[in-house]
Amino acid sequence: MSRRKQIYEGKAKILFEGPEPGTLVQYFKDDTTAFNAQKKEVLNGKGVLNNRISEHFMINLEKIGIPTHFIKRINMREQLIKKVEIVPLEVICRNVAAGSICKMLGLEEGSDLPRSIIEFCYKKDELGDPLVSEEHIAAFNWATADEVDDMRAMTLRINDFLCGMFAAIGIRLIDFKVEFGRRTDENGDFQLLLADEISPDSCRLWDIETNKKLDKDRFRQDLGGVTEAYEEVAIRLGILKKETTSSAPTLSIVPNGDKSS
Ligand code: TMP
Ligand code: ASP
């Protein structure tokens, strides 16, 4: 691991001071938690997979005009990112009922929602990241009305893009969570950027044919095969290659054009 100065340690990632002002290094751990870290395990290789999968989405989202914090992947576990002030909200987008919305509204898991639904949760582990309204967001000054509009619009755009990308590889995007950050760019202009990560830790992904879960619900629900499911997502995305030439199949990361892995 890097010997750079540590800025922050979260449940699945560590942030270090970056090489240039205004940058950070985001390190992906193998630590896996659920239910506000009441359930905890180290899953070997998960951080490597999430680093690579999140890089893939961030690069492709930038291409369709979503500004992100991502600058480049440095190595198997680290990314160089823009330093932002994280908006203290988790933005969730749901296409199909699963998880907390089933509990809250008495819906059956897997039932279609009338349309994609955006939710805002206040980022506060001690409170279990509660669902909040725009009234709360405005009253407590967590984000401005313009920021809320921008986060909603960007999240819906991300949803459209990811739904298409996943459908092409036989996966249904059930729901996902994103986070945003603020920064002032080199010209002094204010920016709202997609931050954090997008990976099977922060999405629900089901195989289109079989409904097999390919995400962190395998860990939350003790279904087993967590890392194998993340690997399957990476293989289908073309990020990871299964070598079948030897008698024991091995996995290798597909290079993405930079020489730093
Ligand atoms: P939920 O149904 O538990 O509210 O989760 C909705 C989505 O958000 C799901 O894709 C998992 C993701 N999520 C996170 O990324 N972090 C969290 O802490 C929680 C609770 C959910
Ligand atoms: N990320 C949260 C935790 O660790 C919850 C979850 O993903 O289920 O505790």
- Tokens (6 digits) for 65: 């005009």
**Is the Cβ–Cβ distance between 91 and 151 less than 8 Å?**
yes
Give the C-alpha separation, 30 to 159, whole Å. Answer: 26
Residue 162 CB less than 6 A away from ligand 1: no
Residue 206 CB less than 6 A away from ligand 1: no
Please say if the pLDDT value at position 76 is more than 70.
Answer: yes
Ligand 1 atom nearest to 174, measured from its CA: 10
* pLDDT at residue 245, as a whole number: 65
Give the C-alpha separation, 157 to 61, whole Å. Answer: 9
Ligand 2 atom nearest to 37, measured from its CA: 9
Q: What angle do CA 220, 224, 229 make, to 5 degrees?
A: 90
Q: Which of 63, 23, 67, 89 shows the shortest CA–CA distance to 191?
A: 67
Q: Ligand 2 site: residues with CB under 6 angstroms?
A: 11, 33-37, 216, 220
Looking at ligand 2, which residue's alpha carbon is closest to its atom 7? 34
Looking at ligand 2, which residue's alpha carbon is closest to its atom 5? 34
* pLDDT at residue 259, as a whole number: 38
Q: What is the three-class DSSP state of 244? A: coil
User: What's the pLDDT tens digit per position in 209-243?
Assistant: 999 999 999 999 999 999 999 999 999 999 998 87
* pLDDT at residue 115, as a whole number: 98
User: What's the pLDDT tens digit per position in 125-148?
Assistant: 999 999 999 999 999 999 999 999
Burial class (CB in 10 A: 0-12, 13-18, 19+), 106: exposed
Looking at ligand 2, which residue's alpha carbon is closest to its atom 9? 36
Q: Which of 39, 81, 38 shows the shortest CA–CA distance to 179?
A: 81
Give the C-alpha separation, 120 to 113, whole Å. Answer: 17
14-31 residues labelled b (16+ CB within 10 A) or e (exposed): bbbebeeeeebbbbbbbb
Query: Separation of 188 CA from ligand 2 center, angstroms?
Result: 35
Q: Return the best residue to mutate from 32, 36, 205 for the ligand 2 pocket (most ligand atoms within 8 A of CB).
A: 36
Query: Separation of 235 CA from ligand 1 center, angstroms?
Result: 23
Confidence (pTM) = 0.94
User: What's the pLDDT tens digit per position in 96-131?
Assistant: 999 999 999 999 999 999 999 999 999 999 999 999
* pLDDT at residue 166, as a whole number: 98
Looking at the chain, the whole-number percentage of residues with pLDDT higher than 90 is: 90
Q: Return the best residue to mutate from 35, 217, 221 for the ligand 2 pocket (most ligand atoms within 8 A of CB).
A: 35
Burial class (CB in 10 A: 0-12, 13-18, 19+), 1: exposed
Mean of pLDDT over the chain: 95
Residues 60-75, mean pLDDT to the nearest whole number? 98
* pLDDT at residue 261, as a whole number: 38
Give the C-alpha separation, 261 to 257, whole Å. Answer: 10
Give the C-alpha separation, 252 to 241, whole Å. Answer: 5
Residue 176 CB less than 6 A away from ligand 1: yes
Query: Separation of 176 CA from ligand 1 center, angstroms?
Result: 7
Query: Separation of 184 CA from ligand 2 center, angstroms?
Result: 30
Ligand 2 atom nearest to 202, measured from its CA: 7
Residue 172 CB less than 6 A away from ligand 1: no
Query: Separation of 19 CA from ligand 1 center, angstroms?
Result: 32
Give the C-alpha separation, 74 to 258, whole Å. Answer: 9
**Is the Cβ–Cβ distance between 198 and 165 less than 8 Å?**
no
φ/ψ bin of 171: left (φ > 0), alpha (ψ from -120 to 50), beta (otherwise): beta
